[in-house]
Amino acid sequence: MAAGIQTQTIRDHPLASARPPAWAAAWGSDRLGPWCSLNIHDVVQRFRWIPPGQFQMGSPDDDKESFDDEQPSHWVTISHGFWMFDTPCTQALWEAVTAKTPSHFTGAKRPVEQVSWRDIQEFMDRLNDQVSELELRLSTEAEWEYACRAGNPDTRYGELDNVAWHSGNSEGSTHDVGEKQSNAWGLHDMLGNVWEWCADHSRRKYSAESVVDPLHTTDNENASRVVRGGGWFFGARFARAACRNGLLPGNRWSGLGFRCLSSPSGQVR
């Protein structure tokens, strides 16, 4: 077990008891763990199982790449497992659900971009209405960082150019999802390609105290929302597991996308 990470074993997942989600068209397990897939018309979206566990969120004091809002590093418990898109939402999936083509860089397998936080709420509501027991939502930023690290306490889950499209190698555009090396839980493009919207309002201030399932809320519907992961237009410093940013919920641009998760327990934030 890597220092700074504690997770359940591969035995502890819904498929171990032959209980695939009701929405799954196919399911199985490979060297990276359990997976399920959702079919919408002729578009297939694969999900990966993210087990519950604990991790150290944020950056240590001696990390020269870090920003001030990533500190202090602190223990976070993710008390529930969940199924997560193994890639950012593609243009093919977005168009299958909404019949719209908002992206600047077009391509069925490229990540959808130029979608606001509010646009995504409508997308998820529509898809949840179509598919029984799906209950898609955006991750909290703690769930996102936990899933991104996948048991790895380091800055990145692999060498930069092997895992991320960033300003140094993207040649000025997004790229098809899934081309870069995945993390240990089978998630691709968690770093680079497009920033990913999260559920949290703005950015909570870290403290050294341990927390369980943190979520930053506010009554202000217009407050900024967290985005994570860096993107094709940003440098290497932003393509790190701990890097945080925030944008207003109506913001749309060509480096901004998302991925969803679904919790088998029906938790919706």
Gap between the Cα atoms of 83 and 89, Å rounded? 14
Tokens 């990276």 found at = 32
Whether the Cβ atoms of residue 18 and residue 41 lie closer than 8 Å to each other: no
Span 20-42, pLDDT tens digits: 899 999 999 999 999 999 999 99
Is the model's pLDDT at 94 over the cut of 90? yes
* Cβ neighbours of 166 (radius 10 Å): 22
Q: Using CA atoms, how far apart are residues 161 and 150, in angstroms rounded to an integer?
A: 18
Q: Give the pLDDT score at 18.
A: 76
Q: What is the mean pLDDT of the chain?
A: 93
Distance in angstroms (rounded) separating the CA atoms of residues 82 and 143: 9
The continuous run of DSSP H or E covering 160 comes out as helix 160-163
pLDDT reading at 6 higher than 70: no
Count of alpha carbons within 13 angstroms of residue 171, beta-carbon side: 2
Is 182:191 a contact under the CB 8 Å cutoff? no
Beta strands in 207-263 (DSSP E): 211-212, 225-228, 244-247, 256-257, 261-262
Other beta carbons within 10 angstroms of residue 126's beta carbon come to 13
The domain limits of the chain are 31-262
pLDDT digits (tens, 9 = 90+) for 183-237: 999 999 999 999 999 999 987 899 999 999 999 998 899 999 999 999 999 999 9
* pLDDT given for residue 13 in this prediction: 78
- For residue 245, the model assigns a pLDDT of 96
First to last CA, the chain: 30
Q: What is the mean pLDDT of residues 112-122?
A: 98
In CATH, what number does 31-262 get? 3.90.1580.10
